[in-house]
A = this chain, B = another copy of it.
Amino acid sequence: MTARDTSNEEQILISHGGGGEMTRRLLAEHIVPPLNNELLGPLDDSAIMPIAAGRLAFTTDAFVVQPLAFAGGDIGRLAVCGTVNDLAVAPAIPKALSLALVIEEGLPIRVLDTIVESIARTAREAGVVIATGDTKVVEHRRGDGLIITTAGIGEMRDGVEFGLERIGSGDVVIVSGRIAEHGLAVMSAREGLAFDTELESDVAPLNHLIGRLFETGADIKFLRDPTRGGLAGVLADLAEDTGCSIELDEDAVPLSPVARHTAELLGLDPLTVANEGKVVIVVAERDADRVLKACHADPLGQHAAIVGRLTETQPPLVELLTRAGGRRIVQRPHGEELPRIC
């Protein structure tokens, strides 16, 4: 799956982005049918949908991942999940996404088709509609194969109050599954690494899993999807924002053997590598077990584990209790090591 193909297959042309007949046909033949729904169908400039009074969550993300496809997913699945997950941790019930495609001239239409189908499939999986969209084309070497920007709206969950001031010493940190698999899968695809056991991106919509957590009635205090910056980034932010330290148990952090091995090969700390189908949960200690059980009952939460606890230690830092019995401070990554991962 490359941005430009030298074979004779049909490719995106600049004229597909002119807003005229060619654009119409591209939309009618390749983009709208797989995504089709009542909101998108009319191809009006705005989708119009009923909304209940309350609080709305609104988010956006641009996706520039390379390569466009990797083990376990592609840029289309990533674009849907990224926005669905940002809404889900708000915590909102995701309702509708917008989809803006910026296609580089020369992209094989077959590649576009595959990605649009992946978007459609992932949206169905998450239970959201692609309500509105836009498609533009840029010249060769003015784009990057395909850049996707999604925005999303969701209805905030009633009766849930997140607030950093409610988080304190004794609260428990749960991670919903094995970490680092998205970033490692993309880096492996980029580096051309191959393994006996395939490492796949974890990219998945988390809204159903998160719904299960709230159904338990547990006192959930914080949710965050550990994307860029990984688990380390989320916990470093949390320590800074709450003024509490976090004790993280290395042995308890879910990590598959193949991910551990790949991270070693690539020289990466799994704690700082991006996830796209995991959620970090902070919950009152008394409720930790039922939240963990709710995770385990969901296909995406099989490997969920309690990985740490908030403490009163000052200054507020994230401290890793290492497998070897030592302690080290976990810091937020500086940011240069993994560009173009989402």
Asked if A340 and B138 sit within 8 Å, CB to CB, the answer is: yes
Known contacts A18-B337, A142-B144, A51 near B49 by CB under 8 Å: no
Asked if B56 and A49 sit within 8 Å, CB to CB, the answer is: yes
Q: Which of A128-136, A205-213, A293-301 has 4 or more CB atoms under 8 Å from chain B?
A: A128-136
Question: Which A residues between 31 and 66 are near B, CB-CB below 8 angstroms?
Answer: 44-64
Report if A253 contacts B (CB, 8 A): no
Report if A122 contacts B (CB, 8 A): no
Asked if B86 and A46 sit within 8 Å, CB to CB, the answer is: yes
The CB with the most chain B CB atoms within 10 A, among A45, A49, A61, A229, is that of A45
Q: Which residue of B lies closest to A44 (CB)?
A: B90
Cβ of A62: which chain B residues have Cβ within 8 Å of it? 100-102, 134-136, 149
Report if A156 contacts B (CB, 8 A): yes
Known contacts A45-B90, A143-B144, A335 near B20 by CB under 8 Å: yes
Report if A228 contacts B (CB, 8 A): yes
Q: Which of A91-99, A167-175, A258-266, A305-313 has 4 or more CB atoms under 8 Å from chain B?
A: A91-99
Report if A121 contacts B (CB, 8 A): no
CA distance A87 to B53 in the complex (A): 20
Least CB distance from A187 to B in Å reads: 13
CA distance A151 to B227 in the complex (A): 22
Q: How many copies does the complex hold?
A: 2
Cβ of A328: which chain B residues have Cβ within 8 Å of it? none
Report if A233 contacts B (CB, 8 A): yes
Asked if B19 and A335 sit within 8 Å, CB to CB, the answer is: yes
Asked if B55 and A49 sit within 8 Å, CB to CB, the answer is: yes
Least CB distance from A132 to B in Å reads: 5
Cβ of A228: which chain B residues have Cβ within 8 Å of it? 18-20
Cβ of A254: which chain B residues have Cβ within 8 Å of it? none
Asked if B101 and A153 sit within 8 Å, CB to CB, the answer is: no
CA distance A156 to B63 in the complex (A): 30
Asked if B21 and A64 sit within 8 Å, CB to CB, the answer is: no
Report if A332 contacts B (CB, 8 A): yes
Asked if B19 and A229 sit within 8 Å, CB to CB, the answer is: yes
Least CB distance from A192 to B in Å reads: 18
Asked if A60 and B100 sit within 8 Å, CB to CB, the answer is: yes
Asked if B60 and A151 sit within 8 Å, CB to CB, the answer is: yes
Cβ of A69: which chain B residues have Cβ within 8 Å of it? none
Least CB distance from A236 to B in Å reads: 10
- 18 interchain pairs (CB within 8 A)? A14-B339, A17-B339, A18-B334, A20-B332, A20-B333, A46-B89, A49-B55, A50-B54, A50-B55, A58-B132, A60-B151, A61-B134, A62-B101, A62-B102, A62-B136, A62-B149, A98-B151, A151-B151
